[in-house]
Amino acid sequence: MTLDLIESRFWAIAAQPNDTDCSSIEGVCPLRCDSFDIACYVIDNNGFIIISKERSDAGRFFGEVDGSVMTTLIRMGMFKRVSLFDYQAMCKINLHSVSSARPLLSPFYGLVSAFKWFLSNFLLFLLEFNICGFWHTEHFADAKPSFSVSSSHKKKGDILQPCDTEYPSFVYEPSIKETNSLIKCGRCQKMFVVQQVPDSNLLMLVVQADCDCSRQYPPITLEPKEAAYSHRGAWEWGYYNLF
């Protein structure tokens, strides 16, 4: 099924007809997902958006779109946080080391850096210097260097090194089929209702859209961070992998 077909089926099913019997229902009735004050989502069991009124939200993690509702779902136990590790990641090298041995070696590093700078500039000078012009003086004025001087001043990219990274992941707790809550966000209150879609790994989420809680609840991202191991833990990890 294409995403367009899934969306059209969902919007048709989710829309309550105007002749809906609302005598026993409290609040606004009938409800439609295309209302400006309601946001409807279909998310999977890892919290990624499948369907949204904003087409650009499809594929994004719901916590990045609405941190207040996702934070509440985690507190209520509907989603559990799981740490995943990537043992083949690449991280930027921290040039500002806080090691106590680095200042003792700083004069040596200074001499090495000066020598590298002198050697690189000397080689660049030899490459750009037109030695053939001495033997062919008639073409000396027309000679052009094959390498531009500005190439030595280009900004270098970030230096990367292998590392282990840790990033969060969220898993739906299937024992909770339906829940709702009210989030207080300063001068307004945001209500939401979430319900499991039967026979699937999907959840339908209806959120009150006219209350902004972004100041009180920042978005939840899935950005990876470099894993920090203790010396003992790193030694034990290497020991058990060797044997």
- What are 147-203's pLDDT values in tens digits? 444 444 444 566 888 888 988 999 999 999 999 999 998 889 999 999 999 999 999
Q: Residue-wise pLDDT tens for the chain (243 aa)? A: 788 898 888 888 887 777 777 777 776 677 778 888 889 999 999 999 999 988 899 999 999 999 999 999 999 999 999 999 888 888 887 665 555 555 555 566 677 777 787 787 777 777 766 655 555 555 444 444 444 444 444 445 668 888 889 889 999 999 999 999 999 988 899 999 999 999 999 999 999 988 999 889 999 999 888 887 764 554 455 544 544
Between CA 207 and CA 4 the distance in angstroms is 22
What's the pLDDT score for residue 136? 53
What's the pLDDT score for residue 32? 79
Q: C-alpha angle 131/135/139, rounded to 5°? A: 85
Between CA 25 and CA 239 the distance in angstroms is 63
What's the pLDDT score for residue 15? 79
What's the pLDDT score for residue 218? 93
Q: Answer yes or no: pTM beyond 0.75.
A: no
What's the pLDDT score for residue 55? 87
Between CA 185 and CA 215 the distance in angstroms is 8
